Amino acid sequence: MPIFATAGAKLYIGGAISLADDDLEDTDFSGETWVEIKELESLGSLGDTAQEIAFDAIGTRRTKRLKGQRSAGTMEVVCGIDYADAGQIAVHTAEKTDDNYAFRLVFDDAPEGGTASERMFAAIVGGASEQFDSANNVMKLNATLWVNSNVVRVDAAEA
């Protein structure tokens, strides 16, 4: 698979989702009703990082490191404000709750006649702030997604 641009990617929000103790799988998202969040400008980053556990071993004068808890991080999404966009309305609604919501990111990388790659995850909408800046700027919605699950990767596939 060659490299590809972020341009053309689409982000969707689903409904509230319950999290089990196990990692999510693509089947956990089947039957979800997806609403596109439109006017995307930036998608930020997404993916697991382990916390470092450091131990200073006196006898060897060496710091030893272990992997601790994993976190998929915080995804900072930036959109041009569209008051009528159902996806942006859903983000504002989700921000007012304590629930995790299903999210789906679909890339524009489908091979001819095939399917695009996707990322699916559960996140709490931790923030939905508006950014206004100066006269020659588009007003923006800055959505902060606190990812509370693993990120399910679905690779692009040939037809």
| pLDDT score, position 1 | 57
Predicted model pTM: 0.93
Sequence-distant (6+) residues with CB within 8 A of 23 are: 149, 150
Domains and CATH numbers, the chain: 10-154 (2.30.110)
| Residue 92, both tokens | 């504002």
Q: Please report, in tens digits, the pLDDT of each residue of the chain (159 residues total).
A: 578 899 999 999 999 999 988 999 999 999 999 999 999 999 999 999 999 999 999 999 999 999 999 999 999 999 999 999 999 999 999 999 999 999 999 999 999 999 999 999 999 999 999 999 999 999 999 999 999 999 999 999 998
- Selection from 21, 8, 26 nearest residue 152 by Cα: 26
DSSP designation for 71: E
